[in-house]
């Protein structure tokens, strides 16, 4: 498991940009709670994954790579788990320090 510093290094500019766009669109759609916002971001990530797949099939310029989408998915999954089980995340933080 990556510690906090390594996970920050793993996320590049493109991943940050994708998360920012997904977050903005989820907020625009009226998702108020963080858990609902993350669910809507997963829906947007699925749509973006299909767009990249279609671009790869047609031979066009790729918007982003599949590795970048995998990094974003891992970040959203960890955020969802932290919202569902806050005690588990707190215990992980205790062991890291």
| Ordered per-residue pLDDT tens for the chain, 97 residues | 445 555 555 668 888 999 999 989 888 888 778 888 999 999 999 999 888 888 888 887 777 888 888 999 999 998 888 877 766 655 655 555 4
Q: What is the pTM of this model?
A: 0.69
Tokens of 41: 């971001």
- pLDDT tens column, 51-62: 888 888 888 777
């Amino acid at each position: 498991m990556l510690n906090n510093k390594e996970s920050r290094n793993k996320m590049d500019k493109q991943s940050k940009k994708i998360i920012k766009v997904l977050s903005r669109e989820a907020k625009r759609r009226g998702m108020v709670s963080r858990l609902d916002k993350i669910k809507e971001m997963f829906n947007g990530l699925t749509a973006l994954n299909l767009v990249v797949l279609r671009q790869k099939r047609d031979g066009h310029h790729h918007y982003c790579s599949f590795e970048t989408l995998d990094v974003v998915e891992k970040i959203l999954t960890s955020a969802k788990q932290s919202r569902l089980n806050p005690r588990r995340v707190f215990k992980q933080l205790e062991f890291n320090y």
